[in-house]
Structures are given as C-alpha cells and as structure tokens.
Amino acid sequence: MSENQNLLAEQRRALILDEVRRRGGVRVNELTRKLGVSDMTVRRDLDALARLGVLEKVHGGAVPVAEASTHEPGFEAKSGLELTAKEDIARTAATLVAPGTAIALSGGTTTYALAHHLLDVPDLTVVTNSVRVADVFHSAQRSSGQRQGAATVVLTGGVRTPSDSLVGPVADQAIAALHFDVLFLGVHGISAEAGLSTPNLAEAETNRRLVQSARRVVVVADHTKWGTVGLSSFATLGQVDTLVTDAGLPARARVEISEQLRRLLVAGAPEDGADPAETPGTALADDENSADF
C-alpha cells in the first residue's frame, strides 16, 4: 500500500489495528512505508488507539492488548472504531426488519447504529438490554411527540456493564419470559472454534438468554471481530441465522463462515442499484427457512 495520505484518520487507524492483530505487532517504520504517511502521523495514530485501549504501545511500535480475552472497552472507546463499517452494516441489517414485528437489540455500538435506522419502521416492539439503544428510541419520541406507529420499547433492567449493557439475573429473568421474531446481536468476538464470545461472564449469560428467546438470530459484526475470542462463549455459529458484516472480511474467512452459517450478508459499497453482497452458497435453501423478517 503506498501514497495513502488521503486516507481518513479513522481508516488509517483501522488498518493499523488490523495489522497489529493479524501479525501480533508492528513497527512504526513498517507502518510509515505501508500507509505512505509520516512517522509523526503514525505515532499520533498509535497514541489514539492506545488511549482507546485496543493496542499497547511499545518501543518502536505496537502490540495487541495483553490478556485481550478479558479486556472490555467502554462504549465510548468502541464507538470510535470502524465507523463506516458499522454504518454500512446497520443500513443493511435494517432492511431485514418488517413493520409490526417484535425484535430484540443487544448492547453494542453496531446495534446502536442500527437503532437509528429503525426509527421510521412502524409499529415495532423493541426489546433491549442496552441503555444507549433505548435512548435512541426515547429521544426520537421526545423530539417528535408520541407519533402513531412509534416503537414500543421494553428495557430489560439489570446491572450496567462498561459497554452500557444491562446484564445479570434481573435482565436474564425478564428476557426468559419474552419471545421475539428476530434478535440483532452485537458481539465482542466471533470465530469458527469459539463461536460468539464476550469478555464479560454476566453478559455472556444474558446474551445466551437473548439467543434462546429469539426465533431468528442476526449477528451484526464488523470484520475486526472475526478471529477475536473473548473469555466466555455464549453461542455457536450454528445458532446464527444471518451474519451481517462489512467488505473488510477476508475471502478466506467468508468461506470458513459459509461452511457453518446459514446466511452471510456483506455490507459495503455495491454497484449502483445493486443489493448488498450475499456470499454465494450462503442463502437459505428453501422458502420456509428464508429470512423473511
């Protein structure tokens, strides 16, 4: 990669983080050559990523965060990463929601982005354990009044995590008594071996209850989540109906996912008039099982 001075800071930092995670560490001089930017720019990017807690600066470069499987960044830290990818994923995932359905949104910055795209879908019932997601709908209602067809929001209650999710026995009991058509689930990590995982044990149990209460499960996760394994697994890939991700997911990962998953949707920048890419062979085989949300 050369002469990438025109890359946005967000894009540069996403590329740097990918390199660190893929290779287990990078040097500043390698990044300056790869990105085509100055030594000072790279160091500023590393400082910003280190403040977010997603990598650790070392002499001459950076390495992944130690004990990453137990590290849980806060909502604000995560919201600064992969903004374009999350917006693409949210826009695509929103097309899977039909008016008048009961859906659930887990905590996370991608589901938070999705909530904004659902404000104009009429007559939704939204179950969520995310304070941030609930605030999106409540704020929209306050600003426009109680308009006809506005979503009914059920906030589960529970103990608040660093990512502003509500978890624990109160949340688990509330979710277990409910049934919803589709669950949109954000994840800390996803892999072929560990499935869906999180560094928070209580959040893992709450997510497990969400999966059990849903007729269909849609995971919304950008490409950086692939290969990340948190402390606790809460679902297998076989329990997921659809994964909505972004175009940054490598081809090899798409093949590996397609072998275990029913449907893979790749959001991004399709050609004019085209639908978001659906990886060949991953659509559901029959009409009865198709994701007609």
**pLDDT tens per residue, range 7-43:** 678 788 888 887 887 777 788 998 998 898 999 999 9
Q: Do 76-289 and 9-66 have the same topology in CATH?
A: no
pLDDT at 81: 60
**At 79, which amino acid appears?**
S
pLDDT in tens, 227-282: 888 888 999 999 999 999 999 888 888 888 888 888 999 997 454 344 555 654 33
Straight-line distance from the first to the last Cα atom of the chain, in angstroms, rounded to the nearest whole number: 41
Instruction: In whole angstroms, give the CA distance from residue 291 to residue 283.
Output: 9
What does residue 82 show for φ and ψ, rounded to 5 degrees?
50, 45
Length of the chain: 293
Apex 268 CA angle, 69 and 97, nearest 5: 85
Delimit the domains of the chain by residue range. Answer: 9-66, 76-289
Q: Which fold has domain 76-289?
A: Rossmann fold (3.40.50)
pLDDT at 52: 75
Nearest to 183 by CA among 209, 152, 157, 151: 209
pTM of the model: 0.70
Instruction: In whole angstroms, give the CA distance from residue 32 to residue 288.
Output: 52
pLDDT at 130: 94
Q: Which CATH number fits domain 9-66: 3.10.129.10, 3.30.360.10, 3.40.50.2300, 1.10.10.10?
A: 1.10.10.10
